[in-house]
Amino acid sequence: MRVLVALLCLLIVVEVGAYRVIRNSQGEPEASESSKSNASIMFPPPQPSRPRGSLPPMCIKPTEIKYAFKYVNTIVSCLIFVVGIIGNSTLLRIIYKNKCMRNGPNVLIGSLALGDLLYIIIAIPINVFKLIAEDWPFGVYVCKLMPFIQKASVGITVLSLCALSIDRYHAVTSWSRVKGMGIPLWKAVEVTLIWLVAVLLAVPEALAFDMLELPYRGNKLRVCLLHPEQTTSFMKFYQDVKDWWLFGFYFCLPLACTGIFYTLMSCEMLSRKKGMRIALNDHMKQRREVAKTVFCLVLIFALCWLPLHLSRILKKTIYDQNDPNRCELLSFLLVMDYIGINMASLNSCINPIALYFVSQKFKNCFQVGGNTMTLKLNYHLRISPHKEPFISQCVCLSYSLASAAGAIERPPWMNEVQEDFGKALATGMV
């Protein structure tokens, strides 16, 4: 956890340092490339096909993001891109390759990783390009696709975290449940519904975003943004309540869901008789470990997404686009916005890292997935040849998440295998 906290702090410190570069910047008035993601605040000129509104007054002082900040943002985004692809791909491969990892909780974690991978591949490169380039060359379809993919990915994350919290509550409170390995049919249906609901809730983003032409240094600058003049009553309503809707559903919902079900879980465990806790001590410890893992994922989600939602709420409540002296505040909000975007993107790559440090099962599987997998597997088969079918299905030594949830019991001989394997590691045999 200290590594994760240090990574979050480093990202904030590096990007906040760019704010001093912005405060005294000089350049053209307000329609700079830094403003593209916030152009609906500064410049809301509509296309000829839509009703034309009045432009807000120009800033007294110019506002732009200098190249130093662009380079920092680009480097951070590239690191997130590489780490996110490697981490989430490895996580999906672990769940797919090992039968002992194919269970209800893990299929939700795999769904979360797949949504993150989709966002990393599509949204992060385009976000970097928007900050660096002065024009939008991808056309209207990509303009609508990018926010759609982003909101769908966040929706998958939010709903998966809620489902994991509910699943942990049922796993801990229903201590007598025993299931086999594999993905239950109802869990597959649950994941399908999560994706369908997330995609459906992202449709308004695709409808609201459009390409606009803004005046810039005597030319027309094409930008992709939320159109300030929506044509339907529903889209006008969505534009007005969007920031509050995103804050409530995409941020507060998973926190509230986790708080409610983890409180119920704690009350249930405290109310049990001592004899029951002793009888199922091993199972309960493993279930609590999985519950701790889910809680860690929710906590990381909250830390990563708080800056972006805070930036949007501040922009909604204290920013006045008709104030000519608004540029100092706008400079701060622009930097905070991009810090929030990078922090939110960091959430897409940090989950596999968190699982590595929090979950012993995933940590073992990550290690086995490396170059030492063949040596370790050969050693397993050598010291316990009659257990080959089980080992060949799952090369991880610890419980699977299915076992941790009470799905399967640990074979007695595995204690001997793990003890012998630990001695071999200590002596350098593997």
Contacts of residue 24, defined as CB under 8 A and 6 or more positions apart, other chains included, come to none
Better-scored residue on pLDDT, 59 or 232: 232
> pLDDT tens digits for 79-123?
999 999 999 999 998 888 887 777 777 888 899 999 999 889 988
- Mean of all residue pLDDT scores within the chain: 71
Total length of the chain:
430
Range of the domain at 380: 373-427
Most confident of 5-14, 131-140, 175-184, 318-327: 131-140
163 and 238 belong to one structural domain = yes
Domain at 247, CATH number: 1.20.1070.10
345 and 418 belong to one structural domain = no
Whole-number pLDDT of residue 151: 92
The residues facing 221 across adjacent strands are 214
277 and 398 belong to one structural domain = no
Whole-number pLDDT of residue 295: 85
377 and 333 belong to one structural domain = no
98 and 236 belong to one structural domain = yes
The average pLDDT across 311-315 equals 86
- The band of 159, judged by pLDDT with boundaries at 50, 70 and 90, is very high
Q: Which two tokens stand for residue 362?
A: 């995933």
Q: Rounded distance, CA 293 to CA 357, Å?
A: 9
The average pLDDT across 144-148 equals 90
- The contacts found for 140-146 with CB under 8 angstroms, 24 or more apart, are 140/210, 140/211, 142/224, 143/209, 143/210, 143/211, 143/224, 144/205, 144/206, 144/207, 144/209, 144/210, 145/206, 146/122, 146/209, 146/224
> pLDDT tens digits for 232-253?
889 889 988 999 999 999 999 9
The average pLDDT across 303-319 equals 87
How many structural domains compose the chain? 2
Among residues 365, 367, 390, the alpha carbon closest in space to that of 380 is found at 390
Whole-number pLDDT of residue 365: 77
387 and 349 belong to one structural domain = no
Of 322, 343, 368, the residue at which a domain comes to its end is 368
Q: Are 180 and 100 in contact (CB under 8 A)?
A: no
Of 343, 368, 393, the residue at which a domain comes to its end is 368
225 pLDDT more than 60? yes
Q: Rounded distance, CA 291 to CA 293, Å?
A: 5
147 and 24 belong to one structural domain = yes
